[in-house]
Every structure is written in structure tokens, then in C-alpha cells.
Chains A and B, each alone.
Chain A
């Protein structure tokens, strides 16, 4: 199956299977093998879309994929997608326009920065530090491996993408840094670690964006990444790992300071 993010939605619902030896299955087992049904699935679809919107992967005003596309990619019935979209509409996150250029759009007020601020306010310091530890561990391991395995032609190509950064607005710069981070990690040649990084990046990215907007440390994030690229190209795993850990620590520190001042 393609993306790890869609795998869970593709399992066919379990059918109760007759067992000749146990005509009367244990009650708990009976509940276990109830068809999952599209009720639970609509909630899963809804949660996936809410995450995409609040984390800013789908931006205010952006058009959502069509119901048919969503149903195809998530492996659920169109009616399930419709149900999830209805719930999102009810929560005010999505608006639907009719007509030729119609469709479902992310609501104009769905500002990821507001959601990120709210998420940081609700999250404990412990959880923020733990996220930092997880990120530093995974990303650190990836860049160390990349430093042993990347070819200079590959790191040079990643660096070239960073050169255009000054022509972009803050939002585009953050997206570019996310892309560049994933490209560096992919140079580890490890699919498992890269998938793990994608998940973590999706979680941390809105917080990195918040820090970039509110503390003007975007330049600092870019400098860290540039230094990681240099270390990977120099084949220096320790320098690449240390710089990545520093970047994670600084980000979490900035979030905790933000939390304290806006508390």
C-alpha cells in the first residue's frame, strides 16, 4: 500500500467469521468482530481533515479535494466523506460553494497560527519537551545516517533549493524549510525513518511556523538547516546530529517562552 497515512483507512471491515468449535463466541469477542461500519470511519476522516486544516497543510481558502478524490484516496465510501464534510461544515472549518467553480473550501477564518497558539496553550510543558526529545531523536538519527550515505551531488541539490529562500514570504519559507528537512532526512536512505519524520514534521511544523511568526527566528531555523546540509555533505555525522538537536531544543525553548508570556 502506498502512503502510510492512508493504510489504516483501507482495511476492509471485519466480517464475523463462523467458528465451528465455538458456536457461541465470547461476548467481548462478539463486540470485537462487529463490522467497523462507516460511522467510525466518518469520524476518522473528519479527524484527518481537521488535522490538515488546523496544522495549516490545507490553508484558509484552499479547495479540498473533491468528494470522489477523497473517497478514492482514503478508501471509504463517498457517503462517508460527505458525512465528514458535513461535520466540518458544522464546526465552521469548511464552507461549500455551489456552481461551476464550487466545492468545499477551508473557511477563511481557519488561521493555522490561531490553532497553533491554542494548541501550545493547551499543551503541558512536559508534552512539549517530550515532542522535542522525539524530534531530536528521530531527526538526529536520520541526519547522522545521511552524513554517512549521501553523495555530495545530492546535498548540493538540496542546498540550491535553499538559495531562493529570500524571494519567498514567511509562509512559503516555512514550507520550503519543511521540504528541505524531509529531503535531508530521505538522504539517510531509510524509508522507515523518513516515514516517521513525515509524521513528526506534520506535528511540529505548525509549531515551527508559530515560532517563526512570533519570535522572528525563521532565519535561525534556516541557518540551522544550512549547517546540517554542510555537515551531511562533509560526511560529519556528529556535527549534523548536534546541530539538529540544537535546532529542536531552541524551538521547544521558544515555544515554552511563548506559552509563558501568552499563558
Chain B
């Protein structure tokens, strides 16, 4: 790797780390006090959906106000069987009108969809670490191509669910390609399974897999704090 592309790749990784660090920090900032509120609420009776919704709402709405990243949705997803009146529950606010998501009233009854195996729930619940999931088609909440950042919530060492936020990939693309443009080479951001998140290179489409392609041979660097790689094409 020559020095120029080495500099570019470090700069690209720094752009990505910087971009995602603020939303992760925002979630980490509220997840602990929120978990304490849940623990407190549990001492005074069964934990219901409406109790959790009331606790989540102010945190979710503040997360939607976050500057610098285009937050589309935010909230808390309860661990399976955490609540007394529902097997599973999403306390989630999204969209321009910041409306609470109600799954049961939609055309396909999404309430029955099992989220325990989905990446944004499964990974932080298993590792106890913040996770940037996707991009993926989010047919549960945003109905868009989405990146979900999620951090686990814990009470006395037990994980009670994840606090999360959604970013729409089309908005992330506009933010990141603008920042990458100054580096003077083509930059492609890929996720843990080698899928293109965004690329300045018009030949690479978001959603494509780089496995087995020429892109897989180019210099790459892992971003710290998020499971994403940047690939730089000096050509």
C-alpha cells in the first residue's frame, strides 16, 4: 500500500468513526438511567407496555432531535417476556411526525413477527456491546433500507432489551459520500458480511456484495467502534 492511499484510508475510517460515534454515545447516555427507571417501576407493580412506553418516550424524542445524523426512528425494544402484558414489544417513535409505532393495526399483522433473531436485537443482546446493524430492509419499523444502532439495557446484570435508533441508508449515503469526496479517491464502506453500505464509486451499488469481486482485493481498514470496513480505490 502506498502512502497516499494509506493516508486516504485512515482518513476515511476516521470519517466513519466520527459519524457513528455521536449516535452510539447518545444511546449509551440514556440507556443506563432508563434501565434504572425500569427497575424502579418494577418495584411498584407489573411492568406493562404503557409503563414502558411512558418511560421511553422522552428519551426517544430527544434521540430524534440529535443533530449531525439523520435519525429516523428511536426507542426501546423489550426483551422477550420482559413485560407482563405482552410477549414482545417495541416502544418506538419514528418519522417526520415523530409518531409512536403501533404494529397491530397494520396491513400485515407485524405484531406476530419474531424479532429475537434479527441482527439489531440478537447481537447486542448476545454480546452486551453496542452494535451497528445493517444495512437491511426494515419491514418492521421504517419500511425502508435502514441501519439500526442498538445498545443493550441491563438491570442487575440481566439484559432487558435494547435501546436503538434507525438511520435511513439514503440519508447516510448523502452525508458520507459528501465527506468522502474530499479524499480524492473512490471510497466504499462495507459491513460485516461484505455488503456495500455506501460507495462514492458509481459502479458499486448499496446492497451489493463485494465478496469475490475486485473490490475485495483493494486496501481496506476496519473502523474502530463499529463493525464496518472502508475500502479505498486509488485509481
Contacts and interface: CB of A to CB of B under 8 A. Distances in A.
A154 B100 CA distance: 29
Interface stretch (B16-24, B139-147, B149-157): B139-147
Given A2-B99, A191-B145, A65 B107 contact: no
Contacts of B94: 2
Contact of B99 (A65, A70, A75, A198): A75
B207 A161 contact: no
Interface stretch (B36-44, B109-117, B173-181, B216-224): B109-117
B193 A2 contact: no
Contact of B137 (A6, A179, A186): A186
Contacts of B136: 186, 189
B96 A1 contact: yes
Contacts, number: 109
Given A2-B73, A73-B100, A161-B117, A189 B107 contact: no
A175 interface: yes
Nearest to A152: B193
B3 interface: no
Central interface residue in A5, A64, A160, A189, by most chain B CB within 10 Å: A189
Contacts of A6: 105-106
A200 B104 CA distance: 18
Given A5-B107, A161-B117, A198-B139, A190 B193 contact: no
B139 A186 contact: yes
B195 interface: yes
A199 interface: yes
A79 interface: no
A72 B145 contact: no
A202 B108 contact: yes
B223 to A, nearest CB: 19
Given A4-B143, A65-B102, A195-B143, A151 B137 contact: no
Nearest to B99: A72
B105 A149 contact: no
A41 B122 CA distance: 39
Contacts of A57: 107-109
Contacts of B206: 189
Interface string A42-82: 00000010011000011000001100011011110000000
Contacts of B209: 148-149, 151
A58 B102 contact: no
Interface string A8-52: 001000000000000000000000000000000000000010011
Contact of A191 (B95, B97, B104, B137): B137
30 contacts: A1-B97, A2-B73, A2-B99, A3-B106, A4-B143, A5-B107, A10-B97, A57-B107, A65-B105, A69-B104, A72-B100, A72-B102, A73-B105, A74-B105, A75-B97, A149-B209, A151-B195, A175-B112, A179-B112, A182-B139, A186-B139, A189-B195, A190-B207, A191-B137, A191-B144, A194-B137, A194-B139, A198-B107, A198-B139, A205-B108
Given A70-B105, A73-B102, A189-B137, 14 more contacts: A1-B96, A2-B95, A2-B99, A2-B142, A3-B106, A6-B106, A65-B105, A69-B102, A69-B105, A70-B102, A149-B209, A151-B209, A198-B139, A202-B108
Interface of B: 73, 94-97, 99-102, 104-109, 112-114, 117, 135-139, 141-145, 193-195, 206-209, 211
Interface of A: 1-6, 10, 48, 51-52, 57-58, 64-65, 69-70, 72-75, 148-149, 151, 153-154, 157, 160-161, 175, 178-179, 182, 186, 188-191, 194-195, 198-199, 201-202, 205
